[in-house]
Structure 1
């Protein structure tokens, strides 16, 4: 067991960042600056593998900051900051325009261009302040970063900054073009800008890790952007409605920016979100892979392989590791923690099994699925041997030490599990949606058993699923309220708050049909439906706060899972209508956020605040939120392929405002098909002979 250390948890309230922060991200690199492009302040910086390399990057012109004119962020890893030099004394207007074009990727590349729109040559003094503190991401997030000994070494065309505390971290700042004067902390130019002409310099910020320089990947990306190549297939999802099409294009590029390649394994996964969670998260990466299956099942397979490689093998109270448990979070080594895999998640383990079966339906080869069956069986053993702490048939959580997260479901913040009066529930806690995940995992394993000729395992898994479904209904349903409890507390008492967790139960299918209609009515009411999405906690509950992290805010992925669940129960009165309403409202919110859904936003009623109020510290881009539009469209298309059975089911019910939606070059094994839908009609082109098409 490693020595005690403080590790970040996904459910912590993030360290506050200004809504004016501009965040660029590409894999393990992200940069947070102000709208002028300057870095300076509590959370701003250039980060590489969980370490802040630049804590200051500030451009001054004749001793003063330039004035912001415009900001363009065409891609998740690229920005253009357009500035002007304030007019000089006696002049009404400025004639000097400054453009800073920035790319990130294993470092940073920036071009600074000064354009002189006047009719006289102009001399400017430019100073770029560059400094580093090599603070760990966790320290910055918690507001406790402090200066460490840094050696600044000027060299020809380059400023070297080295951490003197023995971490091996460093950064090299190199200038090309006009040669600057380089001194510790500064690069200085005396720029002569000709009339009607321009002056330009190019800067490269290169990380030094383990005393070795890292190759900056963004240098060769000016002509062709890598985010367009995050997947192996050409499958595209487009819409004739311009606002929806913008959201879908942003989804594709954001997911590409969040993809992290594992060069050793030859695979990759999608990181949870920028800026604080640019790493593998079990739950987030599994659900994101599930949502993106229409575009590429390869991401699901590589994510499953990554998680199988770190699956728990022993009991470790500090990291929460247990045999068969799927990891919660991977962190790279840094100043604040060692290389660490933590396991404080109660839901990633059943979701692993669910995704494996779903990936096979979408075309994952049987040989690759079979190779992951031992990991799936180990996950199921964890459910019964460790997840069910007291043998009552439900999976509960209780942290194993004071270092673990208090709450281990997707609502992981410390105050996220409360009853209707707002009182915190005590452990061990059995969450409603987790029982749904386990139910789905049992059915998934039964399906896989049938596929591989294991009738005995299939029968056992189906029986376990049906028993759990019956026990769940008996223990979690609250007849006087008409909804499922958020969970059961340590005394097996119902945690009786109305939450979105109940909607996720619809997604997994654990909800009895006779309960679904009443539950749909509760979810459709104004206490839960804000008009822009489903609240995490109903208005009227004791802990409700629309500006909170988990107690009344709106999480796009949560609403998308609810829509998928409602679509599953479309035969129930009101379910299809609510699914369409929630999906339309959430995509309206996406349009108002410029095409990119944030991790979460405030849960105020749409009638009161339109556009919706941002949550200040939300990750953006965030993998689950970026993938949510894919799930919305998939759910309202009713798109259910089953490649092994050669069947394709469609039950379209698309909002009229979406126009025509096209899923082109969809790969179904060796076949490539196109799905075109509008409203409640659809057609499929290219489906090969021998396939059964069912459009309802």
Structure 2
């Protein structure tokens, strides 16, 4: 999920930091609520710009003594601290409560409470700075010195303004009763015995002199904002999950809440919700990440997938542009709004990804089976066909039938699959592969796109188009199993390099090939054996790279770490090929790992074996919350339920295999079409209440989708999982 061509991932935030997030806005502060950047990553961000880089509250000339920091909602934090008594009294009775709200700006509601029996006068000072630094500069640890800031203090408001790349960015900070200075705001508070003093610090970002819609103000409570109403509506409408296993219930509920906080809305289509990749550094639309996260969270809300697809369709490539790597039909990798995004990447949208485009088509097909409006599916079909055209005309660079990537510039991503760090693709001896590179999982995603488009054509009655894409799928599967298979090793190459040599490292990527079904049946057992070997399965999850490979490093980003979403997709592949116990072991590992992260899975964690440490070792710069990590437990619960609606065939599959020690599982309010159903399971028994009329419940796994190409009646093959 690396942004553009950074050689390192996101810089670490301060230890003990508190992050609040709403839409694409977020704030990272210390545990006291103060923000001190000093070249670091803390700050408040709006539209990929740091609108607050320094925010320090002093009372009676001193910093506060922290007591507790709580985050009752993703968009809100409460900091409680103790302030110095004016005469330096020991055990001060002055308590400060600071309630922070993030959105299109920031609001801090400050309350000083005097628990003593005597009156007190307090001097309060807020020191503020706003460097208007682009997110990329902050993330990469680059300073923005040399950019002049104009500071205008008038009445109770301070405005800090800069001009960068021809764009005027400013931050207005104000509070009733304050006296603005060039450094910030000052107050004198007179607090009676057992009394309180309150104020609201309001931050409004200005772009070319204009405030955003819904900016914080003295009129209207912050919890009445549109963003808050959206999140509360999300909480009311997602499934209500109860599980006898309290850790699993906590994990699934936390995942749903985090997915809600990571939604972003298009200004011109506020009814559409797409999912951002993750906080704090990826609060933006990412093609691959957003598609996979919304796929894995279908059981929570299929409308999230619909909104993600519709938003990406509006950004689909139209022209050839080497700077941004845009090409007709291509789905973007990432969208940014910062003032230097255009200089960094050739535009606010960057298209350098090989996998988002086929995944886009595959998700449209999957969504069609969930009973969403046929109008939405029909509106996306022309975009699906443009995406398939991109695969033929631009993705397959040399006409060999495989999709390769090679950046056409010096600033784009070197690697353009999900392992997009600069050293992410290497041979078994540790030598890095050179582009053009054809990744194994990208071919699998293309296969899924062909299968999906064939099924979409079948259900619309277009036999000719159905047969065309079914034949393309068969051809690709045959070629893939011939060219990528390593018979002497018993697994698939992670890629073909510039000379069409198989890149022979053992990686988790091959598990994605199981997920979509491109692996020949007779090769599956060997692939599964390697994925479940001690070199790959840590006991917590699947390593990205086997521990006996030359580039293995358990604390690397992509060369031996464990990514929950990656592991969840591998488990889905195990289930698909009928390896039920193996899939269950992997799911259990992730569930147990999550308990060590307080019920919130991070973007990734280190790849040490489970026996080395009492719990999984955190990766220091992992995003949290992060969309596909939040969606991973939902996907794992779904494969353990073996729950698959298929409105195109008028059936719903439910064949649970929950571990017996998980106890009763119940999910109420699950959206199917326009109905809300209740799914219950205990061990291998399951039921669905409230099925829409005309749907038949089948107590068996759904046959793999590619089998439906050859089994129109939907008969189950001998080994059929998810």
> Shorter-chain TM-score: what band?
over 0.9
Q: Indicate the residue corresponding to 1:393 in structure 2.
A: 401
Q: 1:279-302: CA deviations, max 9, x gaps?
A: 111111111121122222222222
Aligned partner (choices 25, 45, 63) of residue 21 of structure 2: 25
Q: Indicate the residue corresponding to 2:660 in structure 1.
A: 656
Q: 1:134 to 1:670 in 2, by over 3 A?
A: closer
Q: Indicate the residue corresponding to 1:684 in structure 2.
A: 688
Aligned partner (choices 3, 8, 17) of residue 4 of structure 2: 8
Q: Indicate the residue corresponding to 1:222 in structure 2.
A: 223
Aligned partner (choices 658, 663, 673) of residue 677 of structure 2: 673
Separation of aligned partners in 1, 2:656 and 2:311: 35
Q: Indicate the residue corresponding to 1:297 in structure 2.
A: 302
Note the C-alpha offset of 1:28. 2.0
Q: 1:617-659: CA deviations, max 9, x gaps?
A: 1111111111111111111111111012210111211233433
**What is the root-mean-square deviation in Å for CA atoms of aligned residues?**
2.1
Q: Indicate the residue corresponding to 1:171 in structure 2.
A: 171
Separation of aligned partners in 2, 1:363 and 1:221: 36
Q: Indicate the residue corresponding to 1:424 in structure 2.
A: 432
Q: Indicate the residue corresponding to 1:488 in structure 2.
A: 496
Q: 1:277 to 1:294 in 2, by over 3 A?
A: same
Q: Indicate the residue corresponding to 1:181 in structure 2.
A: 179
Asked if the contact 1:248–1:629 (Cα under 8 Å) also holds between the matched residues in 2, the reply is: yes
Instruction: State yes or no: 1:332 paired with 2:331.
Output: no
Q: 1:11 to 1:217 in 2, by over 3 A?
A: farther
TM-score of the superposed pair, with normalisation by structure 2? 0.91
Q: 1:247-294: CA deviations, max 9, x gaps?
A: 222222222221111121342311111121111111111111211222
5 Å matches for 1:458-607?
Answer: 458-570=466-578, 575-607=579-611
- Unmatched tracts of structure 2, length 5 or more: 701-722
- Unmatched tracts of structure 1, length 5 or more: 1-5
Which secondary structure state, in structure 1, belongs to the residue aligned with residue 648 of structure 2? helix
Asked if the contact 1:231–1:296 (Cα under 8 Å) also holds between the matched residues in 2, the reply is: no
Separation of aligned partners in 2, 1:595 and 1:258: 17
Separation of aligned partners in 2, 1:383 and 1:451: 23
Asked if the contact 1:357–1:444 (Cα under 8 Å) also holds between the matched residues in 2, the reply is: yes
Asked if the contact 1:563–1:583 (Cα under 8 Å) also holds between the matched residues in 2, the reply is: yes
Instruction: State yes or no: 1:307 paired with 2:342.
Output: no
Which secondary structure state, in structure 1, belongs to the residue aligned with residue 507 of structure 2? coil
Separation of aligned partners in 2, 1:300 and 1:102: 31
Note the C-alpha offset of 1:606. 2.1
Q: Indicate the residue corresponding to 2:34 in structure 1.
A: 38
Note the C-alpha offset of 1:240. 3.4
5 Å matches for 1:45-444?
Answer: 45-85=43-83, 93-147=91-145, 148-164=147-163, 166-176=166-176, 179-216=177-214, 220-222=221-223, 226-230=230-234, 233-266=237-270, 267-337=272-342, 339-444=347-452
Note the C-alpha offset of 1:139. 1.1
Q: Indicate the residue corresponding to 1:445 in structure 2.
A: 453
Q: Indicate the residue corresponding to 2:712 in structure 1.
A: none
Asked if the contact 1:236–1:295 (Cα under 8 Å) also holds between the matched residues in 2, the reply is: no
Which secondary structure state, in structure 2, belongs to the residue aligned with residue 396 of structure 1? coil
Asked if the contact 2:646–2:652 (Cα under 8 Å) also holds between the matched residues in 1, the reply is: yes
Note the C-alpha offset of 1:611. 2.8
Which secondary structure state, in structure 2, belongs to the residue aligned with residue 171 of structure 1? strand
Asked if the contact 1:113–1:200 (Cα under 8 Å) also holds between the matched residues in 2, the reply is: yes
Separation of aligned partners in 2, 1:480 and 1:64: 69
Greater displacement, 351-360 / 251-260? 251-260
Note the C-alpha offset of 1:366. 2.2
Asked if the contact 2:275–2:285 (Cα under 8 Å) also holds between the matched residues in 1, the reply is: yes
Note the C-alpha offset of 1:549. 0.7
Asked if the contact 2:235–2:257 (Cα under 8 Å) also holds between the matched residues in 1, the reply is: no
Q: 1:184-226: CA deviations, max 9, x gaps?
A: 1221223333333322221111111121122445664537653
Separation of aligned partners in 1, 2:457 and 2:222: 45
Asked if the contact 2:135–2:338 (Cα under 8 Å) also holds between the matched residues in 1, the reply is: no
Note the C-alpha offset of 1:535. 1.0
Separation of aligned partners in 1, 2:674 and 2:234: 21
Note the C-alpha offset of 1:89. 7.9
